[in-house]
Amino acid sequence: MGLTKQDARKVIDVYIRAWETQDPNLIVTIFTESATYHERVLRGPIPSREAIREYWQEKVIGDQANITCRLLNLYLDGNTVIAEWLAEFDDMAQGVRKRMKEIAVLDFEWMGASRGWLIASLREYWASETVGQVADRYVHADAVEGWNRPAETEA
């Protein structure tokens, strides 16, 4: 049984839903136990499903908000998928709204009838740009100097 575009699309739909809803428990359902995740391909990979959960908890939940993502293209070669998507999100650490275009290379592994096709390896290649400012009420404290100090009154 070989990987089909429909199988891959189903898994990528879960990935996008997990990202948009910031759900680290959902994201790990589509990775093998020993999966690797290269968020930045020139750095070492995130080495396991549990480490992927921790990364999502810190980065996706901690630093992003108001996420939207749309799959643009999907290509299949054997058990390898290339997915292209366009996303926007609030970068809470920097206090800006970003647009990101990404290509992801995903290697899939068949885990049997009960689990289906799961991601064994994901490598992201992306570029982002700032498209606006985040509303002040959402910005992390360290992104806005003095945000929590009372306004100085004139004497």
146 is a domain residue? no
122 is a domain residue? yes
102 is a domain residue? yes
Radius of gyration over alpha carbons of the chain, in Å? Answer: 18
Most confident of 98-102, 137-141, 150-154: 98-102
154 is a domain residue? no
Is residue 151 predicted with pLDDT exceeding 70?
Answer: no
Give the mean model confidence (pLDDT) for residues 108-113. Answer: 97
Q: What is the DSSP letter of 55?
A: H
144 is a domain residue? no
Domain of residue 38 covers 5-135
CB-neighbour burial class of residue 70 (10 A; exposed 0-12, middle 13-18, buried 19+): exposed
141 touches 126 (CB < 8 A): no
Q: What is the pLDDT of residues 83-103, one digit of tens each?
A: 999 999 999 999 999 999 999
Q: What is the number of structural domains in the chain?
A: 1
Measured CA to CA, the distance from residue 86 to residue 111 in angstroms comes to 29
152 is a domain residue? no
Is residue 77 predicted with pLDDT exceeding 90?
Answer: yes
58 is a domain residue? yes
CATH classification of the domain holding 21: 3.10.450.50
148 is a domain residue? no
pLDDT of residue 136: 53
